[in-house]
Structure 1
């Protein structure tokens, strides 16, 4: 990131960008996975939301940062946009040296915990199967069988559709919202400042949705709700930008679009993280969801065509279509998970826990993970 502010050629910029991608690609999946081995399924989302809220906050601060850094134009012979890359790159480089020593890989390796505390944390997560019986392992080593199981899990691929709706919208929205706000009549500098309330509202929505999702122990209803709100905002933008041309209305609908794109994201990630076991399958599944899902950014970055400003019909229309697809897919996932839970309830009916355990070897039950008769899916 820092070097992107120092290079002077297109080739140098591409090389720096490639290495940025290589270094960055494992960060988000690893951070999400790390949280899942510390917190139970209905504890993790609020923590994950705090972590993810930084993404929306970065949108707010980037506007403020861009407004401030424009005054650095010409310092040391560099443009203001170069200083953005340099300053944003140096901060995480400095923090990384500290994090290496204070961020543990798992409860087992946390130096600030006693032996009793480590055992307590490991066991409370292992016993979290959704049914109150059986256990899952969070300390298994990756095996080809579990990697294969993750790639064959159709529910992950279904969730990718929901992820695409979010990533396409977020990437496109982030890239174009300053231009949209500027078109409402603000100067370039003030347009950057006017984007800040939009992102702050999105942060509040992320945290509220996370709280409600944990409280009611539901994921898919909030995914559907989020994309429904985004759809209303997108329809509003299509109408007001093409016909009404009412600046205040357009600005209002930007709040709905931001809230609708950002708030379902963690619900999607947690839905898959909650419903994959053992931990090796979960690790691969989360990486698969996020890596393929982030491919939507390629689309989102190219559908808001400059020549279509200020209506951006293709951009808003494509986002609206993906939101509808995500709503449908979230409903399908809910029906599928609910059906699987019902089948396992029927299988367990009339049997004691001891009788069910006697049908399987202990290791076999652990290897079954989310396919275990004791495991219940989060809806």
Structure 2
């Protein structure tokens, strides 16, 4: 009975491969590009802007510290690092449950609720009076923001094929680089409100940015499309075109995958236990440990070079702009050549060069050289993340396993934020031996892991190439092949 129900579902929900090909033929190449542009303009700028907002709200603690938060709250020793660290515990642990909820409900509603929650928490951060209050508010912020990044990155994968998604995701992720720039600019302007309504300038940073996020959350539910199947801005034929071309994206030209599967226990377990995800965590750490440790520290590093607090905020801007440019170029070239691991290795190598230089420079001498190496280190941090995310997304199917697997990768990766938040020690300023050295070691580990993954998946692809159609059909039916997802002999891993 169960087998009959599964076959019935397969026949009812999925057209034949011949029908799918007819949909491709029914649109000219120019019309196909036009449909994708419609999706691009509706989805990518909106998600990019939302991620810009979320990262500014998450990272403005570093700007508030420079603006006087630590002094006014009487923080001492490692108390600031503890406050940064606590955010990552609920933020990391709740990412997988959040993406399971995302698959069970409408993404637009779930993301809107998350935005309202974290905007409210950020606003309340502006009235914190002591260290205990700061710890509590950072925990609540971690809970509220936990699901946004895995939700947004997964949402992109249900709209674009494997070698289209990175060119879109990079503009979404470039918002991280811009967040560092905008956060510095906003903090520079807002901290000048010091004394308004009897509040310190750093409090206004939280209050104004939080209110804006709450306001924005009331509009997102009606603007963000949930999936190609229900997109109101596409015609019925255009929706079918998007859905069916994704089903054919197996990498071999045979078989199919699905984005319409329902989340179940089997796929949740598969996403949590897949060895490719666990290996990719080491590559993700090259970004998460670096970005969460280094991003919070960059304004302070510049401040210690002899600049004023206001100038330190402004001087972070060009660093993140350059990082964004290199991140976009690296990702788009990766899609063009249909490769992931070489461009992960490139980003990690740039990071290795930057942090090696920061370790070697005799601080605080040579402030100009130190500032220049911040460009190299920051670019290396961000260049490798998007190829790593897309490497995992490209190699997980069906969509329920991908949703869980991507959230699991981000969860484990963001636990690296706990380490990153505690490796830049105030007593080591301005050298930061532990911080720079730890990141250099993680980058080297990521480099080796990436090489191992490439070799292992290339070998599996070669083994599947040896299987004939008769061999495959003798072992599996259509439903079996669909449920196998990335374990199907038709599926080819992206390298």
Q: Tell me if TM exceeds 0.5.
A: yes
Task: State which of 353, 363, 366 in structure 1 corresponds to 2:479.
Answer: 363
RMSD after superposition: 1.4
Task: State which of 444, 457, 460 in structure 2 corresponds to 1:337.
Answer: 457
Could you tell me which residue of structure 1 aligns to residue 160 of structure 2? 39
Could you tell me which residue of structure 1 aligns to residue 238 of structure 2? 117
When normalised by structure 2's length, the TM-score is: 0.74
Q: How many residues get paired? A: 374
Q: Counterpart of 2:392 in 1: which secondary structure?
A: helix
When normalised by structure 1's length, the TM-score is: 0.96
Could you tell me which residue of structure 2 aligns to residue 206 of structure 1? 327
Task: State which of 307, 326, 346 in structure 2 corresponds to 1:186.
Answer: 307
Q: How does 1:54-69 map to 2 (within 5 A)?
A: 54-69=175-190
Q: How does 1:1-379 map to 2 (within 5 A)?
A: 1-242=122-363, 245-347=365-467, 351-352=468-469, 356-357=472-473, 359-379=475-495
Q: 1:90 & 1:108 partners in 2: Cα distance? A: 34
Describe the shift of the 1:337–1:186 C-alpha distance in structure 2 as closer, same or farther (beyond 3 A): same
Give a deviation string over 1:16-40, Cα, whole Å, max 9, x none.
3222211211111010110000000
Gaps of 5+ in 1: none
Give the stretch that moved more between structures: 146-155 or 325-334: 146-155
Q: Counterpart of 1:97 in 2: which secondary structure?
A: helix
Q: 2:473 & 2:238 partners in 1: Cα distance? A: 28
Structure 1 residue 186: deviation in Å? 1.6
Give the stretch that moved more between structures: 216-225 or 86-95: 86-95
Gaps of 5+ in 2: 1-121
Structure 1 residue 70: deviation in Å? 1.8
Is the 2:191–2:205 contact (alpha carbons within 8 Å) kept by the matching residues of 1? no
If asked which structure has higher relative contact order (CA below 8 Å, sep 6+), I would say: 1
- Moved beyond 6 Å, runs of 4+: none
Q: 1:362 & 1:163 partners in 2: Cα distance? A: 35
Give the stretch that moved more between structures: 332-341 or 8-17: 8-17
Structure 1 residue 11: deviation in Å? 4.0
Could you tell me which residue of structure 1 aligns to residue 20 of structure 2? none
